Amino acid sequence: MAFGFPPSFSKKYNTQIDDKEVIAAFKNIITQLGWKIKTVTEQDITCATLGSATSWKENLTVKKLNPGTYKIESKSSFQVIDYGINEENVNLILDLFIEFEKTNIQNEHKHDNEGAKVNQDTESMGGKTKKSIRDSDKVDVKIELENLKEMVNNELITQNDYELKKKELLGL
């Protein structure tokens, strides 16, 4: 729980993700959470969280400090005591980013292990060439749905968010 005027909570985080992708990833996460994006630059993104019984729309900022190092800060607008909501905001968005980061790193390792060359199966059919897509480029729907369900169970996303993503993954 933070005290002060205004109370705030922040964490620094080092990532292996390319700096060009970090702000875009946080923007996507913020959008998925339904938080209102205020500003976006190459160096930072600022948003307002949703209001609730314990929240008065805190301002959350993700700011690049150095290459690969970011500061995530949630700051209350009017409260003198935040009852832990700023820490919850920072941990929520950071947990979702770490999940993105793990997926991104796993995919990079898959590509490295399989080699940089794209397998191409060519068949001559009236002068047309058909290329097959590597299996690693396809989304493993079962694993993705299991990950999303775990996020619902951990209250990182809503059941509605899960259902929407499920329909998207299943092509419905």
Distances (CA, A) of 47 to 29, 166, 169: 11, 27, 28
Mention every residue, 6+ apart, whose C-beta is less than 8 A from residue 97. Answer: 13, 15, 25, 26, 29
Indicate the pLDDT class of residue 7, thresholds 50, 70 and 90: confident
The three-state secondary structure class of 12 is strand
Distances (CA, A) of 58 to 5, 48, 105, 115, 152: 13, 6, 31, 45, 23
Domain ranges of the chain: 8-110
Is 0.75 topped by the overall pTM?
Answer: no
Residue ranges in 36-140 assigned as alpha helix (H): 85-114
Indicate the pLDDT class of residue 117, thresholds 50, 70 and 90: very low
Distance CA 143, CA 97 (A): 18
Q: Count the helix, strand and coil residues of the chain and give each as a percent rounded to the nearest 5.
A: 40, 20, 35
Identify the weakest region by mean pLDDT among 115-124, 126-135, 140-149, 154-163: 126-135
% of the chain beyond a pLDDT of 90:
37
CATH for the stretch 8-110: 3.30.310.80
Indicate the pLDDT class of residue 10, thresholds 50, 70 and 90: very high
pLDDT digit string, tens, across residues 87-106:
999 999 999 999 999 888 77
